[in-house]
Amino acid sequence: MSNYDAIRKQLEEKLDHLVARAQEIDSNLSETPNEDWEERAVETEGDEVMLSVGNVTLREIEEIKHALHQIEQGTYGTCSRCGTKIPFERLELLPHATTCTKCA
Ligand SMILES: [Zn+2]
């Protein structure tokens, strides 16, 4: 399974990046609200955007962790629906893919 080394590295780097981003979003959200009403309204809107960005980030973190776990278990690269091997080219493009091109 050594040919997954590059993908594993890519996943780990992405994970680091996403975790850093999630922490950044988290610290932005917990800042004390602005006293000025108008500015606070703008901030609330920003917070909502931040929250959805945060949710996407957290989901991606879970997907990547799952993929890394599969690499460790030796089950990585197998379609979760039909059980066929996912083409390497697809995994290179989408390292946390859990389905083959047909099932996606
Ligand atoms: Zn499939």
Flag whether 81 is in a domain.
no
**Residue 34 — φ and ψ, nearest 5°?**
-70, 140
Separation of CA 86 and ligand 1 centre (Å) = 8
Separation of CA 97 and ligand 1 centre (Å) = 11
Separation of CA 88 and ligand 1 centre (Å) = 14
**Residue 85 — φ and ψ, nearest 5°?**
-75, 130
| Residue 82, both tokens | 């039909």
Separation of CA 81 and ligand 1 centre (Å) = 5
Give residue-wise pLDDT tens across range 45-92. Answer: 788 888 888 889 999 999 999 999 999 999 999 999 999 999 999 998
Tell me the mean pLDDT in the region 10-27.
93
Q: Bridge partners of 78? A: 85
Burial state string for 44-59 with b = 16 or more CB within 10 A and e = fewer than 16: eeebeebeeebeebee
Q: Bridge partners of 85? A: 78
Flag whether 47 is in a domain.
yes
Flag whether 83 is in a domain.
no
Flag whether 34 is in a domain.
yes
Flag whether 71 is in a domain.
yes
Chain mean pLDDT for the chain = 87
Separation of CA 102 and ligand 1 centre (Å) = 6
Residues spanned by the domain of 42 = 2-76
Flag whether 13 is in a domain.
yes
Query: Could you give the angle at the alpha carbon of 104 between the alpha carbons of 19 and 93, nearest 5°?
Result: 50
Query: How many distinct structural domains can be found in the chain?
Result: 1
Flag whether 32 is in a domain.
yes
The predicted model scores a pTM of 0.76
Separation of CA 98 and ligand 1 centre (Å) = 9
